[in-house]
Amino acid sequence: MTSSLPGFLFAIPFFAAVVIPVVGFTNQKFCRPIALGTLVSLSIVSVMGLSEVVSHGPLSHEFGGWAPPIGIEWVVDGLSGLLMVAISIVSLISLVHAGPLVEKELPGRVIPFYSLSLLLVAALGGMVLTGDLFNLFVFLEIGSLASYVLVGVAGGRSLHSAFCYLILGTIGASLYLLGVGYFYAETGTLNMADLAQRLPEVIDSRAVLTGLLFIVLGLAIKMGLFPLHGWLPDAYTYAPNSCTPLLASVVTKVPLYAFVRIAFWVFGMTTVSTQIPILVVLGWVGAVAAIAGAYLAIWQESFKRMLAYSSVSSMGLFMLAFSLGTETGFAGGLFYVLADTLMKATLFGVAGAAFYQCGASTVTDLVRLRQNMPWVSAALLISALSMVGIPPTAGFFGKWHLVVGALEAEKYFAVAAILVSSMLTALYFFRMFQRVWAEPLPLVEAHVLETPFPIKMSLGVLTFGLIALGLGSDLVMGLIFESAIPKGF
């Protein structure tokens, strides 16, 4: 059904991203209200889109009036609508959280920060909603450029990590483009739906196989799948604390969505598990990633670096979930992705709050949370319990559905990987609990600032969201089963 809603989903953040530098030259104070207002309206429009999709079916929008497959088509269906809602709401909360931090960390760079964050949100939305492979590449690069600059905008130690991220990210995007070129050479189309129709005839050709391999490699670099995650720990650790909640929660999940879309909607479930058994390989890679990431996180002293390796481990769990090949596994993986956006935003938000109030950066420094920060401590407790997987938080339900899906598919190595990585996650998070709550306070009481209201509100909303998502997991799983599962299971 044609609708202009996807067009608005692109236009709202894009226009704001372009208007902010023009308006901000007159008065810097206008940036933040414009940015927050834009994200509020984007969240409202995306929720409207999701409710429309659930009741009436997928929405499509043809750019320029040209019908697909000649023109570019944007499709809001269950999966992309759900992810769009998650992206807009989590980015709104992250930008609210970043308010006090921007003034402290990036004193002269307020305009670039808000403009680039909105451009990043526009690009992520574009990647999620598009139905055209080359359009996905364009938005992938726009979003990546915005995130390279956001990682390095503070200067200092972060410049080198941003440069490494830039080089590796560009290699990834170029490999993706090469894969798209192979698909175009073999079938003559770039539209995902049209490609899905034309692929069965040419599925045995080596060009299609090579194209798929290049696309998977490129997207794996972008999403930080072990062992192609080299840029991730440095980028997350040294990026300014105003940017990390946004970067860590949504930026790696959208290439994962792109992979899921290409593997399950363009190729089809049976093709990628039997004819070109890429899912089997990725299942093993995900299992190794989950365990290795969790293992590496145990040895980190810096809190943000520990969370970065925890992200690597989570990405392995997502890949494992999507490669299981059952409906429960797929839905559980999608639910765990949604839960993880909330969890990572909360954890990196806690890191930012700790940095703002008492300059804490290592796990041992976090002991100062006991001094004057009840909200931040509560947020840390709930999100850490959710990462480990303790009911009634959202993380428990996500992992529960993952294990059930793995048992249904009779892939016992997946069950073992999930359980081992959960135990290792428990190990490093309980080590953190011990440092924060069981160690004595240091004798020298550092000056601890009051928690600013934006940080309190954003961490409170995120924590509430984690518990609400956990208690309402039946509703969300029902929604996923109804509208976000690909055919062919």
Partner 1 sequence: MADIVLYRPHFVAFIILFLLGIYIMVVSLNLVKKLIGMYLMQTSIILFFITLAVKKDSTIPIILSSATAVTPEAYANPLPHVLMLTAIVVGVSTLGVSLAMVIALYRQYNTLEEDQILGKMK
Partner 2 sequence: MIRPHDSVIVHTLARVFIPIIQLFALYVLIHGHDSPGGGFQAGTLFAASFILPVIAFGIQGSLTVLERRAIILGGIGILLFAGIGLIPLLLGEEFLNYGELPIPGMEASARRHLGILGIEIGVTIAVAATAVSIYYSLRERGEGEGN
Of 110-118, 165-173, 347-355, 385-393, the window that binds partner 2 (rule: CB under 8 A) is 110-118
Q: Is 170 in the site for partner 1 (CB under 8 A)?
A: yes
Query: What 3-state DSSP class applies to 74?
Result: strand
Q: If contact means CB under 5 to 8 A according to the sort of partner, which of partner 1, partner 2, none does residue 138 touch?
A: partner 1
Q: If contact means CB under 5 to 8 A according to the sort of partner, which of partner 1, partner 2, none does residue 11 touch?
A: partner 2
Nearest C-alpha neighbor of 299 from the set 362, 252, 348: 362
Query: What 3-state DSSP class applies to 274?
Result: helix
Radius of gyration of the chain, Cα coordinates, nearest whole angstrom: 21
Nearer to partner 1, 177 or 367 (CB): 177
Q: Is 138 in the site for partner 1 (CB under 8 A)?
A: yes
Q: How far is the CB of 198 from partner 1 (least distance, A)?
A: 15
Element (H, E) at 455: helix 453-471
Q: Is 134 in the site for partner 1 (CB under 8 A)?
A: yes
Binding to partner 2 (CB under 8 A) within 128-157 occurs at 149, 152-153, 155
224: left (phi over 0), alpha (psi -120 to 50) or beta: left
Backbone angles phi and psi of 327, in degrees to 5? -65, -40
Binding to partner 2 (CB under 8 A) within 386-445 occurs at none
Backbone angles phi and psi of 94, in degrees to 5? -65, -40
CA angle 254, 260, 265 (to 5 degrees): 130
Q: Is 21 in the site for partner 2 (CB under 8 A)?
A: yes
Of 1-9, 86-94, 172-180, 287-295, the window that binds partner 2 (rule: CB under 8 A) is 1-9
Is residue 224 exposed (0-12), middle (13-18) or buried (19+ Cβ within 10 Å)? buried
Element (H, E) at 62: strand 59-62
Backbone angles phi and psi of 173, in degrees to 5? -65, -35
Q: How far is the CB of 319 from partner 1 (least distance, A)?
A: 25
Q: Is 163 in the site for partner 1 (CB under 8 A)?
A: yes
Can you tell me the distance from the alpha carbon of 266 to that of 205, in angstroms, rounded to the nearest whole number? 16
Q: Is 220 in the site for partner 1 (CB under 8 A)?
A: no
Q: If contact means CB under 5 to 8 A according to the sort of partner, which of partner 1, partner 2, none does residue 25 touch?
A: partner 2
Token pair 């899912």 is found at 279
Q: Contacting partner 1 (CB under 8 A), which of 24, 81, 152, 218?
A: 152
Q: Contacting partner 1 (CB under 8 A), which of 44, 167, 281, 475?
A: 167
- Residue pair 393/462 in contact by the 8 Å Cβ criterion: no
- Name the β-bridge partners of 191: 132
Q: Is the peptide bond before 392 cis (omega within 30 degrees of 0)?
A: yes
Of 59-67, 191-199, 220-228, 477-485, the window that binds partner 2 (rule: CB under 8 A) is 59-67
Which residues, 6+ apart, have CB-to-CB distance to 34 below 8 Å? 16, 19, 20, 23, 114
Q: Is 15 in the site for partner 2 (CB under 8 A)?
A: yes
Q: Is 160 in the site for partner 1 (CB under 8 A)?
A: yes
Q: Is 181 in the site for partner 1 (CB under 8 A)?
A: yes
Of 57-65, 142-150, 351-359, 462-470, the window that binds partner 1 (rule: CB under 8 A) is 142-150
Q: Is 19 in the site for partner 2 (CB under 8 A)?
A: yes
- Residue pair 308/233 in contact by the 8 Å Cβ criterion: yes
Q: If contact means CB under 5 to 8 A according to the sort of partner, which of partner 2, partner 1, none does residue 177 touch?
A: partner 1
- Residue pair 429/395 in contact by the 8 Å Cβ criterion: no
Q: Contacting partner 1 (CB under 8 A), which of 14, 74, 114, 148?
A: 148
- Residue pair 53/78 in contact by the 8 Å Cβ criterion: yes
Q: Which residues bind partner 2 (CB under 8 A)?
A: 2, 4, 7-8, 10-11, 14-15, 18-19, 21-22, 25, 61-65, 109, 111-112, 115-116, 149, 152-153, 155
Q: Which residues bind partner 1 (CB under 8 A)?
A: 134, 137-138, 141, 145, 148-149, 152, 155-157, 159-160, 162-163, 166-167, 170-171, 174, 177-178, 181, 184-185
